[in-house]
Structure 1
């Protein structure tokens, strides 16, 4: 299991140092939640801030765009140092054009599904993706409870990936920690986004090791 600490749970006043702390603790990726206050009812940060904190780690920056028009901002986040960009299938941008734009910048592309969006919605795009992110909470705020009823969705997407012999990772985000990681792993998740479980842990290194053991 790859572990991607969610910077939504970090101390924003020292975001660079928090990234370095997670890097030292053994994080595989850094997960950056970008919110526009329109697609989701919250605001976080944009590409300029990401560019400033990029030097604090050489781990992949996994950028989750919770914004209405992701296509418009792909270049900004590519220029700021994104390694992976995921955007919502429910967004307003043309999905194929947005995937094309991400790929044209040499960045891995992923689609994100909100809890109410069925697994089958992502099937037409699987052969063009590097990643599918299944939300296990409603997107917008950290610290929410894990939605176990999303695991059949993960299983369905995993089965379709395997049936077609594709090399696509499945990521899950929301409420993942010691109490839920085993269930996530059983369903076939490859990358777990963890916020509170690692940032609020007394020993983040041990917390990441426990989660990654699955």
Structure 2
């Protein structure tokens, strides 16, 4: 049975000068999860925020904090993000030599464990860790910047990962260039969790966010 559709706005596209208020706004506007993109300027060519920011905004919502770590090395920081309030911690398969160890560490911290793969990375890198996973995140842009154009070649990868997952209770998430049109495409390919940044935060008001989230949800829901 398919898992319920989740819309996870990425706060990377929020107004950082009032980040707490933005989190409250997307919560009220219908977000299911809050997606937190953590960038280190080393694994990806940008720097965003760290565990202290996540800790600061954690009291603003009871929604799931879906924390995507685009950092390397990653293992030394897992505990800090867990303590800051992450519910799901996702690490890149490309970020270190011991993915299985990283996923075990996340679960040992009492959090759900996710693995991410970049556009050029084949899905078979996840074959031997499927039973460690609560979530697989397919990057449909090259990580490091918001507002990029969707890479359509990832749709076939999403379909193949959906087949790999089979009956396992693993969420299949897609992040990068997601808007109303591409949300329908990724949902049709098998995604059940959709990350959107610019497409949610355009308009700059809670009512605009609600309209944007509803449009993405409707497009993805119809395509499933």
TM-score in terms of structure 1 length: 0.97
Give 4+ residue runs of structure 1 displaced > 3 Å after superposition: none
Aligned to 2:48: 44
- CA deviation after TM superposition for structure 1 residue 83, in Å: 0.1
Q: Which runs of no fewer than 5 residues in structure 2 stay unpaired?
A: none
Secondary structure of 1:142's aligned partner: coil
**Residues 21-32 of structure 1 correspond to what in structure 2 (within 5 A)?**
21-32=25-36
Q: How does 1:50-69 map to 2 (within 5 A)?
A: 50-69=54-73
For the pair 1:150 / 2:154, whether they are aligned, the reply is yes
Structure 2 SS opposite 1:171: strand
CA distance in 1, matches of 2:97, 2:36: 20
Please, what TM-score do these two structures have when normalized by structure 2?
A: 0.92
Superposed, which structure 2 residues align to 1:77-116 within 5 Å? 77-92=81-96, 94-116=98-120
Residue of structure 1 equivalent to 2:123: 119
For 2:19, what is the secondary structure of its paired residue?
helix
Per-residue Cα deviation, 1:140-166 (whole angstroms, up to 9, x for no partner): 00000011110111110100111xx21
Residue from 178, 182, 195 that aligns with 1:176: 178
Q: How many residues align?
A: 212
Offset at residue 94 of structure 1 (A): 1.8
What are structure 1's unaligned runs of at least 5 residues?
A: none
CA RMSD after TM alignment: 1.0
CA–CA distance in 2 between the matches of 1:197 and 1:79? Answer: 30
Q: CA deviation at 1:4?
A: 0.4
